[in-house]
Amino acid sequence: MVKKVGKLEKTKFIMDILNKIYPKTPIPLNHKNKFELLVAVLLSAQTTDKRVNIVTPNLFKKANNPFEMSKIPEKTIYKIIKTCGLAPKKSKAISELSKIIVKKYNGIIPQSFKDLEKLPGVGHKTASVVMSQGFGYPAFPVDTHIHRLAQRWGLTDGKSVVKTEKDLKQLFPEKSWNKLHLQIIFYGREFCTARSCYGLQCEICKLCNPNRKRPIKTKQA
């Protein structure tokens, strides 16, 4: 009988493998300042980073700061981003948050979870990405890839993304969070995709759960 692998052993396996495969973690969404990052992350919900990176150059050419964006008609924003999912809601959110940032924060992106999450269209995950990638604050944004892999690796029960984030933060050292969340996303896209592996094939799944014989069904984010 194969020995059961504990969570601490799993975290070592995972970090060793991911650091070997992804020693560097470039930020997937192209941006030149924190406002552009905020807008790009907001746009990335229910669409791909590739699609966002196609759309944002035209948007940021018109306005790459809240002062300029707040003056652009919502319809104009919509026409530029309409190929992204939920475009009507996103165009409204971009317009409104730009005006709020100008009026309430003098055009400066707020540097706290609390203030970011009060902005239209900005939830906890979006705020976490901005805090992590924009300000370097330790955060562990959980997207669909991370939520899926954490379950496949036996690190969480998948009850909710909130629970997954809490479980991962307890398991991994804080100094690794900003890099690790990107590494897991890259790995989920390349080796442990939603329509393959199912907890049985990739290197990490096999190391973390050597006794597993059947595919694991994961709960969606």
On whether both 162 and 177 belong to a single domain, the answer is yes
What pTM was estimated for this model as a whole? 0.93
On whether both 19 and 99 belong to a single domain, the answer is no
Question: CA angle, 174 as apex, 169 and 176 as ends, to 5°?
Answer: 100
| CATH number of the CATH domain containing 177 | 1.10.1670.10
On whether both 115 and 197 belong to a single domain, the answer is no
What pLDDT score was predicted for residue 4?
79
**Domain membership flag for residue 68:** yes
Number of domains in the chain: 2
| CATH number of the CATH domain containing 39 | 1.10.340.30
Q: Could you list the residue range(s) of the whole structural domain that residue 108 is in? A: 34-134
pLDDT tens across 172-217, in order? 999 999 999 999 999 999 999 999 999 999 999 999 999 999 999 9
On whether both 42 and 115 belong to a single domain, the answer is yes
Average pLDDT over residues 64-76: 98
Q: For 89, how many CA atoms within 13 A lie in the half-sphere containing its CB? A: 10
> Which among 10, 90, 143, 167 is annotated as catalytic?
143
> Which among 7, 125, 163, 169 is annotated as catalytic?
125
On whether both 111 and 164 belong to a single domain, the answer is no
Active site residue 143: yes
Residue the block writes with tokens 């050292």: 173
On whether both 66 and 149 belong to a single domain, the answer is no
Active site residue 99: no
Give the span between the Cα atoms of 40 and 52, in whole angstroms.
7
Any idea how long the chain is?
Answer: 221
